[in-house]
Amino acid sequence: MYKTLIQLVLLLILILVLSFIFYKYFYTSKTITNVTRSPASIIRSDSSKAKENKEVNDDSEIYNISYKKFDILNNVYLIEAEKGIIKNKNPNIVAMTNVKASITYLNNDKILISSNKAILDKKNFETKFFDGVKLTYQDHELNSNSLDFLFNKNLAIFKDNVRYQNSDTKMFSNKITINLLTRDIEISSKNKLDKIKVQKIN
């Protein structure tokens, strides 16, 4: 009888020990595994954000910038902007904001260009002006959605919603090309069916 009682007590102790081991090392560890998944994904997300922020920070932001270049006839092209962003992946490209440009000829005639935004290629000085493009030369004024300034070809190509005006004429087209050396103007349209509108100012 006494021996049986001891065996029963030992059996109960063994059950208690096994139960304790199961709950501590099996049940609890499963709970921890489930809980730690979320922080791990947060860490991965934070790493992605840090990588994105690093890419943004890699871009150089500069203020009150200007670039100058002379053409084959020694006329001066000057472009200025309140702000510029240079991407480190392509340092020749400058994205500009609040832009003013000018072409000054040897006889001191001057063409003035302005736009809200522009992209300059410092390597060849080709410039794409867009968002509120305006050109003035003497009593001539041109407005358009965009302007491609091809420095090496001495061409300024105004595109989309082009409006030309001088002292006595208004003209509407979707493409006007100016030869910057001769200052000759060529008016054309993308579509042959599109009409060029000319309006006389009284």
Residues 6+ apart with CB under 8 A from 169: 198, 199, 200, 201
- What pTM was computed for the model? 0.66
Which residue is associated with the tokens 């400058």?
A: 94
Cα 141 to the center of its chain, rounded Å: 28
Neighbours of 116 (CB within 10 A): 13
Whole-angstrom Cα distance, residue 102 to residue 191? 31
Element (H, E) at 186: strand 185-188
pLDDT (tens digit, 0 to 9) for every residue of the chain, 202 residues total?
A: 666 767 666 766 767 666 666 556 555 444 333 433 444 444 444 555 555 555 555 788 999 999 999 988 899 999 999 999 998 889 999 999 999 999 999 998 999 999 999 999 999 999 999 999 999 988 889 999 999 999 889 999 999 889 988 888 888 888 889 898 888 888 876 655 455 544 443 4
Strand residues in 28-154 grouped as ranges (E):
60-70, 76-86, 93-104, 110-121, 127-137, 140-150
